[in-house]
Copies of this chain bind each other. A is one copy, B any other.
């Protein structure tokens, strides 16, 4: 397709001419079919975007339930379940479907996530055949709705400290589930306030007076539409957004469920009351259970990236329609022809592409682990870390992009008839649910500091500090191997020891070397700081608290390195052509704007001279000007159904 706007181009540079359909195919990858199905479904139910504004909260909750059940009938939402129960038997496709669904109303998305991802996922991954047979067929059609009761009022991120108790009563071969105090109330639970018949409840298992840690149980919470005996349900009420999802609080007053209600894939209790598990270490058992739920994080991260696409598509289309202020000529200039407006939107488009390709990698790892293609301890740890990191970066990206794009559309962006109101309110909590982003980044850093050691599961924060301390800091340095890295870089890049001064800014090896150097250097730095604090006999908690900002910076640097690698590798693997050229421009824009954003750190650590730092800023500006004429094609290639852009005043 011809670029929408002729532009003067620097000498020798030939602007790529993007074939939008071809680029969409590159982006859709191997999941084109399921993504097309979801796009069709989104268009079919497009009226939900208006209904979200127009219906009252009760009616909207019912409408969303209806749409979710209808979509389930098309096979869209059941891709992750075994075919024998009516599912699609393709984990990767289930994530791709979820990502694509994020172009539409996010209450529908989150209700799908709660029902099929959280509730269904827990039954599938923590349960055994008896649970699968009992629940999966009706769960997959949406006939049986359930909820995932993990979070409590007093405990969000710290699941090991949950207060709900499930005591085994051997005499009756039942578990007795009890909420101890308001802080142990299950809270913010999607599907709880209205629709769930069953809940997967996470509770401290007590057998014969001994606590065996957190386990999951299937508990009926509603019978004939009313709360089951002993179950108290409150409505969380109106929320900032996602008001089509019925979040609520659940308390249990000695609710009895049969012994078989324990989701017993990783542990069981015999009728006589003997606890047994194939995984001996309780911490490892706990983290193995939690680990099976990693798909939720992969899903939410991917959804965040696609939310960003919707906002950027609206803002970009607006910016090539709207004129503001005259400059040279009498005619006012298009917004996107202003350098500042390019600076605001185009690096965000580049980062969205980068995150998209990074999401491809984590989705594919998830698929391999859960399909048994590559499922060992190390692969699972790598997947969990990548999922946590990408969830954090993807959802923060969504928050930032939605805000920037709303502002870039001015007052028109503020009207509910356009999409920003819903996008902003609905996606806000993405940074919190499925793991608070800051907590997730600490998990990522912990993995790096301990090299995902097998002892990993035993380590709480304090344990981690001790572990890093006991480990000779030299070992970390050796593993991080800044020096080895520098040697590798010297071989790859011209300039030898001066590689960071001599290499071309547009050489992707240079860009990779920079983000790799940053990560390795930060890793060693954090390890040293922790060791120094402990050597000075200071309180380990205080030491960790004090290095916490370095820990977060390390995790960010790690994830940005993974994202950069994913983008660079994707571009390299493409056949020659205009699409490859366009993506290479975007990749440069992403990598250099990422380095630019942290240029203070690179200067502080001797990897960027003042001159080169300024040169990078100039190059980012140049790249923005080159990407400008491609902008509309780049957002069109995301294949967002036009109904989902809504925004009649902005793009119509």
Interface residues of A (CB under 8 A from B): 53, 151, 153, 156-158, 161, 187-188, 236-241, 324-329, 332-333, 337-340, 343, 399, 403, 406-407, 410-411, 413-417, 420-421, 424-425, 428-429, 431-433, 436-438, 460-462, 539-542, 544-549, 551-552, 599-600, 603-606, 610, 613-614, 621, 649
Q: From the candidates B240, B327, B411, name the one contacting A545 in the complex (CB within 8 A).
A: B327
CB-based contact B414/A339 at 8 Å: no
A213 CB → nearest B CB, Å: 15
CB-based contact A541/B328 at 8 Å: yes
By beta carbon, the residue of chain B nearest A328 is B541
Please measure, in the bound complex, the distance between the C-alpha atom of A546 and the C-alpha atom of B624, giving whole angstroms: 11
CB-based contact B151/A411 at 8 Å: yes
Contacts A462-B326, A545-B327, A545-B339 given: A414-B399 contact, CB under 8 Å? no
Contacts A237-B416, A552-B340 given: A157-B460 contact, CB under 8 Å? no
CB-based contact A420/B603 at 8 Å: no
CB-based contact B340/A411 at 8 Å: no
List of B residues within 8 angstroms of A399 by Cβ: 403
Please measure, in the bound complex, the distance between the C-alpha atom of A240 and the C-alpha atom of B425, giving whole angstroms: 8
By beta carbon, the residue of chain B nearest A539 is B328
Main secondary structure on chain A at its contact with chain B? helix
A318 CB → nearest B CB, Å: 12
List of B residues within 8 angstroms of A332 by Cβ: 158, 161
CB-based contact A187/B603 at 8 Å: no
Please measure, in the bound complex, the distance between the C-alpha atom of A415 and the C-alpha atom of B240, giving whole angstroms: 6
Q: From the candidates B421, B424, B544, B551, name the one contacting A327 in the complex (CB within 8 A).
A: B544
CB-based contact B547/A339 at 8 Å: yes
Across chains A and B, which 8 residue pairs bring their CB atoms closest together, nearest first? A327-B541, A240-B421, A238-B416, A600-B600, A328-B541, A340-B548, A339-B545, A339-B548
List of B residues within 8 angstroms of A549 by Cβ: 339-340, 343, 621
Please measure, in the bound complex, the distance between the C-alpha atom of A461 and the C-alpha atom of B329, giving whole angstroms: 11
CB-based contact B421/A425 at 8 Å: yes
A34 CB → nearest B CB, Å: 30
CB-based contact A428/B414 at 8 Å: yes
CB-based contact B540/A239 at 8 Å: no
CB-based contact A410/B432 at 8 Å: yes
By beta carbon, the residue of chain B nearest A420 is B240
Please measure, in the bound complex, the distance between the C-alpha atom of A399 and the C-alpha atom of B402, giving whole angstroms: 12
A603 CB → nearest B CB, Å: 5
List of B residues within 8 angstroms of A415 by Cβ: 188, 236-240
A136 CB → nearest B CB, Å: 28
Please measure, in the bound complex, the distance between the C-alpha atom of A428 and the C-alpha atom of B413, giving whole angstroms: 10
Interface centre among A337, A414, A461 (most CB of B within 10 A): A414
By beta carbon, the residue of chain B nearest A53 is B238
Please measure, in the bound complex, the distance between the C-alpha atom of A237 and the C-alpha atom of B237, giving whole angstroms: 24
By beta carbon, the residue of chain B nearest A409 is B432
A–B complex contacts, Cβ < 8 Å, 30 sampled: A53-B238, A151-B411, A153-B649, A237-B415, A239-B414, A240-B414, A240-B415, A240-B416, A240-B424, A326-B460, A326-B461, A327-B542, A328-B541, A333-B541, A339-B545, A340-B551, A403-B403, A407-B431, A407-B437, A411-B429, A411-B432, A414-B428, A424-B424, A424-B425, A549-B621, A600-B600, A603-B613, A604-B610, A604-B614, A605-B610
By beta carbon, the residue of chain B nearest A422 is B240
Please measure, in the bound complex, the distance between the C-alpha atom of A431 and the C-alpha atom of B552, giving whole angstroms: 29
CB-based contact B407/A432 at 8 Å: yes
List of B residues within 8 angstroms of A157 by Cβ: 324-325, 410
Please measure, in the bound complex, the distance between the C-alpha atom of A429 and the C-alpha atom of B407, giving whole angstroms: 8
By beta carbon, the residue of chain B nearest A604 is B610
CB-based contact A325/B461 at 8 Å: yes
Please measure, in the bound complex, the distance between the C-alpha atom of A329 and the C-alpha atom of B547, giving whole angstroms: 19
A184 CB → nearest B CB, Å: 14
Please measure, in the bound complex, the distance between the C-alpha atom of A437 and the C-alpha atom of B404, giving whole angstroms: 12
